[in-house]
């Protein structure tokens, strides 16, 4: 900017100071550079070193089910609630068409996308399936949101519509179309085990990464599995993702679930398994149990997961070391509408009602807590719990940096903390409420020995709290 232009801008801002707020509001996450893996291999960051906490939402059928006006409403709601990644399917099933009746591909062949001439359609009648996706990707970008893009859901591969003959062509076409969009992250796979049609997933991963060097990639796996089981050492896999949902501790299916690998609701165990691998790669829960979906997924006569369950999955996995977390809501993930018929998985709401479900609004408080302290030094540390860490819902989990610690209890039970692990002669202690992000100080203690902490309220599932300990002598 020339000196004359700079003076003009400063004069304008002095007369209209509100304009500076508007300019600041236009900054986007990728203004800090593209997303990369941190030096320690545990987190994501921007090129300039700014940490990135993945606060994702599953809007799987966004491209297929919502109009442009509806998509803008949904994305704005997620922006205001602190979400920064929306996970979406490009092709859910074949034949595939969107709300406007536009089909995605010819002859059920992903390598034959149906496009109309021109890159800037002026009216809805001129839009095609891919123009609609472009609109949503760009609208998300205007709001500072990334799109976690799943090229093809697993069923399309399993049915052999996407196969070893056309996977490279489709992957290259898709990567070329979106490689210059700043707000893309690739989610290869789609609710399928990686050893099912593994060669197709390898082709997709390698081809997209060869074509698009600007964006990160992972693999979205089947329930109760993790991408690291098949692809940890692949160059195209930048970070791991696991799917812990959607079953209770007692819902193991003999003969169908792997009993040796069964973790029930303990999604934190997936994080520890991934972090034991070399080379180190970041990991997170890409699909825990959704808010307001039946426990076990398929039977609406079962209890439904609630906001406190969504919080538990989030805090357990992140405190174990995950670099972020993905939330989901039953009605939102399938974009259920009045004209959708019965819907799936016992859905009881419409998407425009469910976007304001309590759990959706509470996810931001985890992100704010994690980013309030030094990000890249944070580790999982069970040694902070001086007594029994507990099992299942009584489990207490601790994470810390050099001069702070966070300890989460889902039931609000008392627990004993080993002091002297973080720095400082004294520690400041406070309770952090995952429901509203409010903090209540509970005093300062000598940073030695052990101390018993008793969270507010009655001990019961869902009375969850985070104990915050900070070095009282230094900066938290």
Q: What is the pLDDT of residue 475?
A: 55
- Mind giving me the DSSP string for 388-442? ---SGGG-EEEEE-SSEEEEEESS---EEEE-SSSSSSEEEEEEE-TTT--EEEE
pLDDT (tens digit per residue) in 198-223: 999 999 999 999 999 999 999 999 99
pLDDT (tens digit per residue) in 28-38: 999 999 999 99
Overall average pLDDT of the 250-261 stretch: 91
Among 11-20, 127-136, 329-338, name the one with the lowest average pLDDT: 11-20
Overall average pLDDT of the 308-336 stretch: 98
Q: What is the pLDDT of residue 26?
A: 74
Q: Is the pLDDT of residue 424 over 80?
A: yes
pLDDT (tens digit per residue) in 82-105: 999 999 999 999 999 999 999 999
Q: Inter-axis angle of helices 68-80 and 129-142, to 10 degrees?
A: 30
Return the exposure string of 239-255: e unless at least 16 CB atoms fall within 10 Å of the residue's CB, then b: bbbbbbbbbbeebbeee
pLDDT band (50, 70, 90) for residue 256: confident
Q: What are phi and psi for residue 8, nearest 5 degrees?
A: -60, -45
pLDDT (tens digit per residue) in 437-469: 999 999 999 999 999 999 999 999 999 999 999
Among 53-62, 122-131, 158-167, 223-232, name the one with the lowest average pLDDT: 122-131
Q: What is the DSSP letter of 290?
A: P
Among 215-219, 221-225, 235-239, 472-476, name the one with the lowest average pLDDT: 472-476
Q: What is the pLDDT of residue 126?
A: 73
Under a CB-based contact definition with an 8 Å cutoff, are residues 320 and 42 in contact? no
Q: Is the pLDDT of residue 6 over 80?
A: no
pLDDT band (50, 70, 90) for residue 189: very high
User: What's the sign of the alpha-carbon dihedral 237, 241, 243, 249?
Assistant: positive
- Vertex 372, ends 367 and 375: CA angle to 5°? 80
pLDDT band (50, 70, 90) for residue 117: confident
pLDDT (tens digit per residue) in 349-359: 999 999 999 99
The predicted model scores a pTM of 0.93
Overall average pLDDT of the 416-427 stretch: 98
Radius of gyration of the chain (CA): 23
Q: Is the pLDDT of residue 229 over 70?
A: yes
pLDDT band (50, 70, 90) for residue 474: confident
Q: What is the pLDDT of residue 23?
A: 36
* CA dist 426 → 383, 415, 468 (Å): 18, 19, 13
Token pair in block for residue 455? 């969270």
Q: What is the DSSP letter of 291?
A: B
Q: Is the pLDDT of residue 301 over 90?
A: yes
User: What is the C-alpha separation between 42 and 50, in angstroms, rounded?
Assistant: 14
Q: What is the pLDDT of residue 125?
A: 63
Domains of the chain, by residue range, sit at: 29-371, 381-471
Helix (H, G, I), strand (E, B) or coil at 239: coil
Q: How many residues does the chain have?
A: 476
Q: What is the pLDDT of residue 124?
A: 59
- Vertex 291, ends 458 and 216: CA angle to 5°? 120
Q: What is the pLDDT of residue 12?
A: 37
Under a CB-based contact definition with an 8 Å cutoff, are residues 211 and 171 in contact? yes
Under a CB-based contact definition with an 8 Å cutoff, are residues 295 and 248 in contact? yes
H or E element in which residue 44 lies: strand 44-46
Range 29-371 classified under CATH 1.10.3720.10: no
Q: What is the pLDDT of residue 119?
A: 56
Q: Which residues are paired to 329 by β-bridges?
A: 291
Nearest to 163 by CA among 135, 137, 132, 200: 200
- Of the candidate CATH numbers 1.10.20, 2.60.40, 1.20.5, 2.40.160, the domain formed by 381-471 belongs to 2.60.40
Q: What is the pLDDT of residue 22?
A: 45
Q: Is the pLDDT of residue 24 over 70?
A: no
User: What is the C-alpha separation between 45 and 299, in angstroms, rounded?
Assistant: 40
Q: Is the pLDDT of residue 224 over 70?
A: yes
pLDDT band (50, 70, 90) for residue 122: low
Q: What is the DSSP letter of 29?
A: G
The residues near 126 (Cβ < 8 Å, ≥ 6 apart) are 116, 118
Q: What percentage of the chain exceeds 70 in pLDDT?
A: 93
């Amino acid at each position: 900017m020339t000196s004359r232009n700079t003076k003009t801008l400063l004069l304008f801002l002095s007369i209209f100071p509100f304009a500076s707020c508007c300019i600041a509001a236009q900054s986007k996450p990728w203004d800090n550079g593209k997303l990369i893996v941190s030096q320690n291999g545990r987190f994501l960051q921007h090129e300039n070193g700014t940490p990135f906490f993945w606060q994702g939402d599953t809007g799987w059928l966004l491209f297929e089910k919502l109009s442009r006006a509806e998509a803008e409403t949904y994305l704005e709601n997620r922006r205001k609630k602190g979400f920064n990644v929306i996970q979406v399917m490009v092709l859910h099933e074949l034949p595939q068409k969107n709300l406007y009746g536009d089909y995605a591909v010819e002859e059920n062949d992903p390598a034959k996308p149906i496009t109309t001439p021109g890159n800037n359609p002026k009216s809805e009648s001129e839009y095609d399936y891919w123009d609609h996706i472009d609109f949503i990707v760009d609208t998300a970008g205007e709001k500072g949101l990334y799109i976690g893009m799943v090229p093809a859901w697993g069923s399309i591969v399993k049915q052999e519509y996407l196969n070893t003959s056309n996977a490279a062509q489709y992957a290259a076409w898709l990567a070329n179309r979106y490689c210059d969009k700043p707000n893309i992250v690739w989610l290869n796979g789609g609710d399928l085990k990686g050893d099912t049609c593994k060669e197709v997933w390898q082709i997709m991963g390698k081809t997209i990464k060869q074509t698009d060097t600007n964006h990160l990639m992972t693999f979205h796996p089947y329930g109760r599995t993790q991408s690291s089981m098949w692809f940890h050492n692949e160059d195209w896999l930048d970070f791991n993702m696991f799917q812990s949902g959607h079953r209770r501790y007692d819902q193991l299916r003999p003969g169908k679930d792997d009993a040796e690998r069964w973790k029930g609701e303990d999604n934190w165990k997936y994080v520890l398994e991934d972090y034991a691998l070399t080379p180190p790669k970041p990991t997170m829960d890409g699909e825990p149990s959704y808010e307001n979906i039946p426990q076990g997924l398929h039977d609406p006569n079962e209890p439904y997961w609630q906001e406190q369950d969504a919080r538990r999955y989030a805090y357990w996995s992140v405190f174990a070391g995950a670099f972020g977390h993905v939330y989901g809501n039953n009605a939102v993930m399938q974009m259920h509408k009045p004209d959708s018929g019965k819907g799936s998985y016992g859905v009881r709401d419409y998407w425009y009602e469910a976007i304001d479900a309590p759990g959706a609004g509470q996810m931001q408080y985890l992100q704010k807590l994690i980013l309030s302290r030094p990000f890249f030094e944070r580790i999982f540390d069970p040694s902070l719990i001086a007594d029994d860490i507990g099992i299942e819902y009584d489990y207490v989990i601790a994470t810390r940096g050099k001069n702070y610690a966070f300890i989460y209890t889902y039931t609000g039970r008392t627990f004993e903390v080993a002091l002297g692990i973080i720095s400082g002669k004294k520690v400041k202690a406070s309770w952090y409420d995952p429901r509203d992000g409010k903090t209540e100080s509970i005093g300062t203690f000598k940073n030695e020995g052990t101390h018993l902490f008793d969270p507010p309220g009655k001990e019961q599932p869902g009375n969850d709290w985070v104990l915050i300990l900070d070095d009282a002598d230094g900066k938290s």
